[in-house]
Amino acid sequence: MPADDSSEAVQLSLLHGFTPSAKPAGKAQPASALPIARVLLDSPLPHLDRLFDYLVPADFDADAVAGARVKVRFGGQELPGFITERAAEADTTARLMPLGKVVSPQPVLSPQILRLAEAVAARYAGTVHDVLRVAIPPRAARVDKEFTPEARAAEAGAGEGAAADAVPGPEGAGANPLARYPHGPRFLTHLAAGHSPRAVLSSLGGYGPQDWPAEIAEAVRSTLISGRGAVVVVPDNKDLARLQSVLTARIGADAFVRLTAEDGPTPRYRSFLQLLHGDVRVAVGTRSAAYAPVQDLGLAVIWDDADELHAEQRAPYQHARDVLLLRSELENAALLLASHSRSTEAQRLVASGWAAGIAAERSTVRAHAPRVVSTTDSFSMERDPLAARARIPHAAWKAAQDGLTRGPVLVQVARTGFSPALSCQECREPARCRNCSGPLGLASRNGIPACRWCGRPEPMWHCGNCGGTHLRGSTAGAGRTAEELGRAFPSTTVISSAGDHIRTEIPDTPALVVATPGAEPVVPGGYAAAILLDGNAMLSRESLRAGEDTLRRWFTAASLVRPATEKGLVVVTADDSATVGHLLRWDPASAAERELELRRELGLPPAVRYAELTGSREGLDAFIARLGLPEGVRAVGPAPLAPPVVPPSANAQTRDVRSPDGQLGGAGGRYRTLLFFPYGQAPAITAALRSTKAAASARRTGDPVYIRVDGTDVL
DNA sequence: GTGCGAGTATGA
DNA sequence: CATACTCGCACC
């Protein structure tokens, strides 16, 4: 490739060619056909988040395809970028620069991904650049070479048939798990016939051969029969591993690829290119897989869309569910939201008729679900000393003891930090303030206990009951609970699964399994019983989502338990009868209906859409003044926010700037304004947010305002 | 981000 | 009046 020739010419002309109106830069001839390349720059600046025209030197003509990675000279520096299209004429009268070089001719920014990224950026008032950062994996030069036309020709010659064309047979991997639902089979036939149905599935399958990965695999298989591809997004790598093994059994290991950052750049980029070239038609992965360049997409699936891991951690904080929603519309693909529970957002889609609800009939539910009983969360008065020691209520204690004769027993405990109340390490008496008798809690930063009512610090605490000097969190982590249960059930194996030591699967033999929500190991034959502790702590969280979130965690754990017909039993400890009732009746759809109704009445998301703006007081005022809010927007604030718990060094962006109580911080700190608006107005408002942000960025004046649209952990 | 021109401050 | 410097903004 004689590429040096032209780029050197450019350099020279830049050094010597001062006259602006003289001949175009460089003496390299532009390509004869479509000499213009529109380039999206790899720059985080909002006002540069648009296309710029460059000349394509004839030398680059073949490589400079739409979607290729390039380097271009921009404002005195060499910036990476992508060609979005080739054009005959420039969009500008500015003097065009030639492309610096074509880094790789692989068309990694496909037209579909670009369109999707634009839609996502528009919806979240963010930049296309920020979305593409997630959508397109970094290049691995070695992998690029595997996908040159020559290399591919060689491979094809070697007789390596295209796996993509292999039509999956009805593998002997068991019965159709969707046959349990009234509309399940019809959903599959529509997929197989090339249609694009949309459904919200309330899945019954928590474990065993008819589990949710099997249900999803079946939908994927039907889509393949229609000759189309599919993409499946799951919250984490544990779920990915489960899905992967079932897909391997049902459609074959060669029929799909994993797409997850966990795998490292090289395999990730290879999988990406395999999809892009149509060698493989199915992609499964974590949230960034929502953008997988599956050719001729027929189905997009998201498992457990309410899991907070589906929300991107960086701007514009897009949610995989909404990415797939947009994608299914843009590419006319089917959409499946599947979960043991039902998110309020999913309910909205069902309620509006956009998607069909797929749920089992009551009789089927009764045949599959365990028996659920509830008990109060207070156990301090338990007379049974062993039960008190295990800090579990008697009913739960009994269930565990009984269940252990038949198999593993799951104990779900809240994550540490859920309930900040402290108690005495020795006698379990709640720790009280000596000043006002308020409960003691841990101040978020220095670790010194302080009263949650009067704020008085209590560095030298000692117990008023027994004189002990050590404090414990009243909601113990999985590790400590496991330890205590081990003592309470002497000769029983205790397995702990939480945080950094997650167990994916455990055998069918009796054991106590202590796990935090989301970390529950799967048992091939199901748990004999489950005990759901800390319900009140989870429900009392200061969050709009506390109720639906807790219920989701209960359903997830309870789905791993054997049916009532096999003596499967779930004991839930919480006092909120409404939330508990939905679990007792195993009715996630009604729970979601009720929740959505509540949000409608309150005018809160997802019944409406909203944006959170944060910044300094002055910055916010100026931003909102420029924004020019239309009628119908409810603006709340600006209100002071507590300072971020994380010191500003870590991430100056809109990290978690909430605080459990608003007493710290305020003056001179950050402020927040919330905007609530109807769906119909959303496009106009996000567009205004975007352009105001871009203008502010171009002026580079005043304090920046950070925008977060439909954030998941804001309210 | 960087480079540049306009506009303004500053000193011989 | 020449030079230094800041500011705003365009960058293809």
**What type of residue sits at position A338?**
A
Predicted pLDDT of residue A384:
56
Would you say A230 and A291 are in contact if contact means Cβ atoms under 8 Å apart?
no
A551: Cβ under 7 Å from strand B? no
Give the Cβ contact number of residue A642 at 10 Å.
18
Angstrom CA distances, A489 to A32, A386, A557, stand at 81, 8, 21
- Taking the model in full, what pTM does it have? 0.85
Would you say A28 and A59 are in contact if contact means Cβ atoms under 8 Å apart?
yes
pLDDT digit string (tens) for A575-607?
888 999 999 999 999 999 999 999 999 999 999
Would you say A572 and A532 are in contact if contact means Cβ atoms under 8 Å apart?
yes
Confidence of residue A14 (pLDDT cuts 50, 70, 90): very low
Would you say A83 and A68 are in contact if contact means Cβ atoms under 8 Å apart?
yes
Quote the mean pLDDT of chain A.
85
C-alpha A593: how far from its chain's center? 23
Q: Which nucleotide is nearest to A94 (CA to C1')?
A: C12
What is the distance between the alpha carbons of residues A687 and A673, in angstroms, rounded to a whole number? 18
State which residue has its Cα closest to the C1' atom of C10.
Answer: A75
User: How many residues in total does chain A contain?
Assistant: 715
The residue among A536, A281, A527 whose CA lies nearest residue A406 is A527
Distance in Å, residue A628 CA to nucleotide B6 C1'? 31
A140-154, A157-171, A342-356, A649-663: which is most confident: A342-356
Residue A649 has pLDDT above 60, yes or no: no
Least confident piece of the model among A20-34, A285-299, A421-435, A620-634: A20-34
pLDDT digit string (tens) for A504-562?
999 999 999 999 999 999 999 999 999 998 888 788 777 889 999 999 999 999 999 99
Distance in Å, residue A10 CA to nucleotide C1 C1'? 39
> Which residues from the 26-65 window of protein chain A have CB within 7 angstroms of nucleic acid chain C?
45, 47-48, 51-55
User: To 10 degrees, the CA torsion angle through A583, A584, A589, A592?
Assistant: -50
Please, what's the largest Cα pairwise distance for chain A? 95
Would you say A65 and A107 are in contact if contact means Cβ atoms under 8 Å apart?
yes
DSSP, collapsed to helix, strand or coil, labels residue A441 as: strand
- The residue ranking higher by pLDDT, A80 or A490, is A80
**Residues in Cβ contact with A692 at an 8 Å cutoff, skipping those fewer than 6 apart:** A623, A626, A627
3-state secondary structure A258-292: EECHHHCHHHHHHHHHHHHCCCCCEEEECHHHHHC
Residue A651 has pLDDT above 70, yes or no: no
What is the distance between the alpha carbons of residues A222 and A568, in angstroms, rounded to a whole number? 33
C-alpha A383: how far from its chain's center? 44
- Which chain C nucleotides are covered by protein, judged by CB under 7 A? 8-12
What is the distance between the alpha carbons of residues A64 and A209, in angstroms, rounded to a whole number? 49
Q: Which nucleotide is nearest to A54 (CA to C1')?
A: C12
Would you say A513 and A390 are in contact if contact means Cβ atoms under 8 Å apart?
no
pLDDT digit string (tens) for A363-395?
999 999 999 999 875 554 445 555 555 566 788
A47: Cβ under 7 Å from strand B? yes
Percent of chain A whose predicted confidence (pLDDT) is above 90:
62
Average pLDDT over residues A281-297: 98
A700: Cβ under 7 Å from strand C? yes
Predicted pLDDT of residue A266:
95
What is the distance between the alpha carbons of residues A161 and A198, in angstroms, rounded to a whole number? 33
Angstrom CA distances, A362 to A206, A304, A548, stand at 17, 22, 21
Average pLDDT over residues A98-125: 96
> Which residues from the 680-709 window of protein chain A have CB within 7 angstroms of nucleic acid chain B?
698, 700
Distance in Å, residue A29 CA to nucleotide B4 C1'? 28
What is the distance between the alpha carbons of residues A89 and A85, in angstroms, rounded to a whole number? 12
Distance in Å, residue A131 CA to nucleotide B7 C1'? 40
- The residue ranking higher by pLDDT, A174 or A356, is A356
Q: DSSP string covering A95-144, please?
A: PPEEEEEEEE----S-HHHHHHHHHHHHHTT--HHHHHHHHSPPP-HHHH
**What type of residue sits at position A145?**
K
What is the distance between the alpha carbons of residues A647 and A585, in angstroms, rounded to a whole number? 45
Predicted pLDDT of residue A644:
42
Task: Put the strands of the sheet holding A356-358 in their side by side order.
Answer: A256-259, A282-285, A229-233, A297-303, A334-339, A198-202, A356-358
pLDDT digit string (tens) for A187-245?
999 999 999 999 999 999 899 999 999 999 999 999 999 999 999 999 999 999 999 99
The residue among A24, A39, A30, A36 whose CA lies nearest residue A88 is A36
Angstrom CA distances, A333 to A49, A137, A291, A295, stand at 28, 23, 13, 11
Distance in Å, residue A514 CA to nucleotide C3 C1'? 76
Confidence of residue A454 (pLDDT cuts 50, 70, 90): low
Q: Which nucleotide is nearest to A700 (CA to C1')?
A: C8
- The residue ranking higher by pLDDT, A485 or A633, is A633
pLDDT digit string (tens) for A393-413?
788 888 999 999 999 999 998
The pair of structure tokens assigned to A183 is 């509309």
pLDDT digit string (tens) for A261-275?
899 999 999 999 999
What is the distance between the alpha carbons of residues A432 and A428, in angstroms, rounded to a whole number? 12
Q: Which nucleotide is nearest to A20 (CA to C1')?
A: B4
Confidence of residue A17 (pLDDT cuts 50, 70, 90): very low
